Each structure stands twice: as structure tokens, then as C-alpha cells.
A and B are shown apart, each in its own frame.
Chain A
Amino acid sequence: MASLTHASSAGPIRRALSRFFENGAAVVGLAILIPILVLTLTYDLWWLHKPNDIDLLAMNQGPSSAHWLGSDGVGRDIMARLLQGGRISLLVATVSMAISTFLGFFIGAIAGFAGRFVDGATMRFVDLAMTLPPVIFLLVLASIVGSGIVPTIFVISLLSWPVLSRMVRARLLELRERDFVVASRGMGAGLWHLLIRHGLPNTIDILVVYATLQVANGILLEAGLSFLGLGVTPPEASWGNMLNAARATHVLENYPWQWMFPGGALVVTVLAINFVGDGLRDAFDPRSELK
């Protein structure tokens, strides 16, 4: 009896967490992701090469004890560039995730709560933004703002919010008719109060899942842009622009370690984040407890 009341008194967040940790794939994802994060964030403390140090005596060398993952065309250490590139890729992905989650929540929430006219106008705009294939939109925006870390973050953020705003709007349209919201409104609550006190806690599951998957998406978009030479520009390393080097046939053919490691890191990280995201989605879905 005691354990029963204990289980039913645990909050929704805690129950979601315990469901998350019962999901094998999600835990594996987390177990891959945490070391990647630790390695990229701390590498300059324990790795002796710097990502932009040029060593002309060690050009295009394969993996060795001095350069574990080999070196590139001007003798820069691939391991250091891989970890620095991971740092940049994760930075771009995380910051753009934060911006697009913010935009997506507020635009979707305002569309859901602020009445039919605002709703119609915003959602038609979202429809329009989703007509164009994302990569085309990405190219058009990139051609306007240029390349570099900040423009890349800007472009990815601007591209990604419509999906989220649509999900938030759908949830809040339903929430708007619920008694506690109607009551709150009747007592004179303003739009801001409704958004923060009622909208935010009731969409937190959508936001967490979106934010997680958006980090993976942001890594892919950054890599795609940098691969085409339109994102993060050299000499700054990113996984995308390290892959860009392989567009030269002699690099692709003769020095596979220069592009296979960043490519592998990219896929492993994205897969791990997707596992975690799927795990969170299942964990936050109350129906999954019935099974």
C-alpha cells in the first residue's frame, strides 16, 4: 500500500524520467553522448596539439602515436581539429536550438492564445515557410547573411522554428478551452501570464523533445552548410568543413582519415541524440504507461 501511494504521488516529470531510464536505446544514446560532450569540452586540457598549429614536417600523415588520427594537408592534427570542430558544431547547434525553441514557442503560443486573426496570419506564414524544401531555404538565407559562425546560427534558427510553433499552437488551441485557463482569463489574466503560467508548463514535453532533436538537426544543417562552403569558414574547424576538404578528389582518395573521422563523429553524435530524443518522446507520452 505504501509503495502504491508513493508511486502515484511521484510527479509527472519524475515518472517520465524513470520511464526514460527504462528505455535501452535512450540510455545507450546518453552513454555515447556524455563522453563526446566531455571530450570536446575538455580536450585542450589533455591533448597536446592545438587545432590550428601547422606542422609542415607532418603533412598528410596517417594515424600514428604522435597524431592519433593523422594530420591534414598543412600538418594540423586531425584529433585536435575533430574535437574543436565538435565544439563548434555543438555550439552552433545548441545556440540555434535555443533561439528557435524560443521563437517557435512564442510564435506558436501567441497564435494559439491571441485570437483568430493573429492565428490565421501566423499559420499561413508558417505554411508558406514550409513549402520550400529546407535546404533551398537554407541556401537562400545563407546567400543573404553570408558565412561564419554567427550567420550560420542565425540561418539555422530562422529555418527551424515553424515546425515547433505548429505543435505548440495545436496544444494551446485545445488548452485554451480548458476550465482553468478560462477561469484564469475571467479573473483578468493577461496574455503574458497565460503564456508563462499555463502555456509553458503544459507544452514543456513538446519543448524538451523538440529541443533535443533540434540539436541533432542543427548539427546536420551546420555540417551541410559548411560542407557546401557556406557555413563555418576555415581556418575555424567544424565537422562540416572538415568534410568539405574531401570534395577534392586527391584528399578523398589518398587521405581517408581526414574525412572519415569527422563523418563518423557526425553520424554517431546525431544517432545518439536521436535515440535520446525518441526516448524522451516516449517517456513524456502518458499513454506509454498504459502498455
Chain B
Amino acid sequence: MRRKTALAGAATAALALVLSACGGGGGSTQQPAQSASGDGAQPAFNAALTQVFNPSTKKGGTLKAANYSDWDSLDPGDTYYGYSFNFGRFYWRTLTTYKPGPGPDGNTVVPDLAEALGEASDGGKTWTYKLKSGLKFEDGTPITAKDVAYAVARSFDKETFPHGPSYLNELLDWPKDFKGVYKTPDVDYKSAVEATDDTTVVFHLKKPFASMDYVVQMPMSAPVPKDKDTGAKYKEHVISSGPYKFEKNEIGKGFTLVRNDQWDASTDPLRPALPDRIEVQVNVNADDLDNQIIAGDLHLDIQGTGLQPAALGKVLPDPALKARADNPTIPRLWYASVIPYNKPLDNINCRKAVMWAADRVANQTAFGGPVAGGDLATNVLPPPIVGQEKFDLYATPESKGDVNKAKEALTACGQPNGFETTMTYRSDRPREKALAEAMQQALSKAGIKLTLKGFPSSSYFSDYAGNVDYVKSHNIGLAAHGWGSDWPDGYGFLQAIVDSRTIRPAGNYNLSVKNDEVDKLIDQASAELDATARAKLWVEVDKKVMEDASILPVVWAKSLLLRGKGLTNIAYNEGQSMYDYILLGVE
């Protein structure tokens, strides 16, 4: 089912090598065959995708990292960026986390604070996690199940923590009168989450849900000591449960992490914790950041989304630089929503006409081509999602569109001469603009006339493409869109963009899929506890959406990441869809 299965063996072997070497916590005598300092690794294109590049167990040094933007929040209960989830594991530990390292099983979860993955009971409505022993916060106080339950409960308050995911708000059975730990401190929330003893956390869900192990790898499950909790100000000094703690934190400028001497390596086989210090600068000029990585002044681009266009032009033609790059397919789909709210696109045949008329190669080119953009997408789920299958319901010669089939569909729709509609895109995203232009050109051959309208990213979903009234009153028929998964299974990728019950007046991410059968399948899939059967059901959802012709896939995105000079132990992790930050070290 999954691509890259052939590589699994080699990758797992390499990973095992690194992890066994790292697990000893410093005094280990086990050494990998490679030099301990990581010197002398031969750089090669894609070298960190299937194995650890420049493996090392050498501790010490300063990891210099930078972010061209800033965190939404450093608070584990209030953050929703992929890089924040990845990087945060330096200073927090969650119940589960992605299996560290390269290779295809990087998108599976393994226990972190917990001794084992969650135990489901009551048909998937109750999930129990047992904590390891010997866990401590940076101040030496033990981490108990109560701290985990409290952390989950505090993240419920979306007025104080508006940025974080709301999965647990929706999944857990919260008491009616619970408004958060600050506003209603006396309300007992044990109907949602409770610590039955010092090491047992129990989650009570409203209905059966199978992907709980993925949900609790998100930082809402990172423990927060109640007596140190300062609400919205906690992000200024997060109490560490991981191998590093904050030495200095200047919000808007950067921060420094140093070793947390209370972290016990024997409780944590996943984190080698190699550098002594981690220095982070934020709001760094994006192009300059790339230049600094190229020159070796910085080790790591924290966003992990890849090089800027300016640096792409420099890296790809230069063999020495290209050898330092990795080009993974990430769990992100760029696509066009085909919106059924206005006539004649409310008719499925008119939507199918759009599918047939689109020139997919031109669309891929608009998105940067096969290296900088991504693989040509034929369906919704991207390849790194667990259990993904590739299929194509609208195959055309050389994927360049089929005018005849489009015209047949138009006739079936009662619009033999085509129709007019508007396509939106984010005006500050040149690739979306190029996509809109490519669509305009391709669709015009079938008689479908597109008017293009660009809007700023910041209000695209709140005021325009994601605003139902606006879409209806301005005859919006197509909208450029992109989506990355919160976690790499069907629910994590699809729920927000294809479940019609998420549609609300404004701020929608599901712009176009309104199909009862899709909704039914989602319910069925999310309650299925058998992993294989569940993956199959998500593929069914994918097929149903493609049959509905309300999403036109463009590319399964690829990123082009550059390995920093002097960085050791680099591996691309499928779950994080960027380098696995907790493994990194410096020469």
C-alpha cells in the first residue's frame, strides 16, 4: 500500500543503530560504526530521507536555529504550528510522539511520557495512558498524571489559548458548566479527563474515536504544573519536562534553551539530547536565513517548509549545494476547491467538466514543477498519509486535460456552451496566482470562462473564499487552496477539509465538499479501531470526494530542505514532515 516499503528495512536498521547509540544517556559504550563526531559524511541529494545523515553521538556545542516568522505561542497548550510541535519536544514531553528518525514508519506514534500506547476500552470511548516512573519537571518536582490531566483541561479555555487545536475540546466529554480552569476553577472535569492515580491518565470521549494516540502526540498533553501556571503568560516561562529548559526568552526576538539537569535520559530513549545549548532567533529575514544556512552561520531553519524561491534558484543548479538538500513529499495537498454553492456548479456534471478540462501538468508547473512544487496529485490524500492509495478518476492523455470529455460533461449539465464563474486565490502567493491563470487558460478551451480574483492570505478564509455569504453573493466557483495534515492519518488530513458539518458562516477550510455519504464514511472511519480497516475507510472517503468532483487536486507538495553545515544526526521524519529536531547535534 505505502510507497517506500522497500526502503523500510534499511531505514529501520539505520534508525536502530542511532537510537541504540543514543539511548544510553551519555555513558554508553555502544558506538555506531560511524565516527562519533559525525565528521566525514559524504553529502548527497536526499541523503537524509531514508537514513540518518552524518550520524553522531557527540554531545556538546550550540545549535543555532532561526525562524523567519514567530511562534503563535511557546505554550504547549496554545500552539498549532507543525514546527512548534516538532521543536517543542526539546522542552516538553507528550504522552506519545512520532517514531523518531527517517523512513516510512516515521509517521507512526510511539510512547513518550507514557509507558505504552493508549489502551482503548468502551469501544474506543475511553482511552487510558500509564506514565513512566522517574519523570520530573525542571524544578525537580515529579511529573504525575494530574499534571497531564490539568494541562489538557487548561487548554480547553480558548479565550486564553485561542491558537491551539480544538480536537480535545470537541472529542472529550466536558461538563456543561466547565468554562476552563481559570473561569470555573471549582468545576470538576473528570468526565473528560482524569488522573485516577499518580501514573494513570484517562480520557473520556463523547463518541468512539480511533486516532487518539495521534491526538495526544500534540502538545496539549504535555504536563503543566498547576502551581506554576500563569495562563496566557505561561509562554514566557514554560516549565520544562524535556531535556532542555529556557535560559532566556524574549518574545518577538528569540530565546535560548540550555540543558535541563532534572531530565533523566533513562526515561527517554527517544531524545539523544546532543547540543548543550540551542539558540533561536525569530523574525529573521527569510532570504537572509537561507543564505546563512548556505554559508554555515546558522544550522537550522525552524519552519522546516523549505527554501525560499531565491535560494532555490541558487541551490538546484549548484551540485555541491544540491548535495546538501533533501526533497521529501510532505503530507500537504495544493488544490482547487470546486464550490457547489452557485449555479451551475451545484450540478455535479459541471464540476466534472472542470475536472476534465483542467491541464494538470500546467497546474503542476504553476506550483513550481516536480522538484520545487510537488508530484502531480490525482486524489486528495497525499502519499505520506498512513494507508494512502493513489487512484485517478479523471485520467486524461498526458494529464493535460480532455476538452471532449469536458464538453460531454457540460452537455450533461445543461450548459453545452460553457459558463462563467470566478476563481479566487491568495494574492500574496505567486504560485496560487499562477495556478488560477493556468486554470483560466485550460478551462477556456471547454468554454468555461474564469474571472480571477486575488485576496490577502490573512483574510482569505475569514472574509472571502471561506466566507459562505461572500462566496454565494460573488459567484465564486473555484478557489485555490492548500492543506497539510495535523497528523498523518486519514482523520488528521481529511476531517477539516471534507466534513460538511465543519462548515460555518466564516473562516471555513472546507470550501466545497458537502456530501452526506462523505460525512457518513468519516464517522465510520473515525470510530474504526482496527488500523488496517480504518485506513481502507479513509481511502473510501478520498474516492467519494473525487467522485463528488468538489476538489481538483494539483500537487502533493514536496519541500526542498537544506542540511545546515556542521549539523549531525539529520533525518527527515515523515510524521513531522521536516527534519526530526530532537535527534540533531552539532559537530
A and B: interacting chains: no
Residues of chain A whose beta carbon lies under 8 Å from any beta carbon of chain B = none
Residues of chain B whose beta carbon lies under 8 Å from any beta carbon of chain A = none
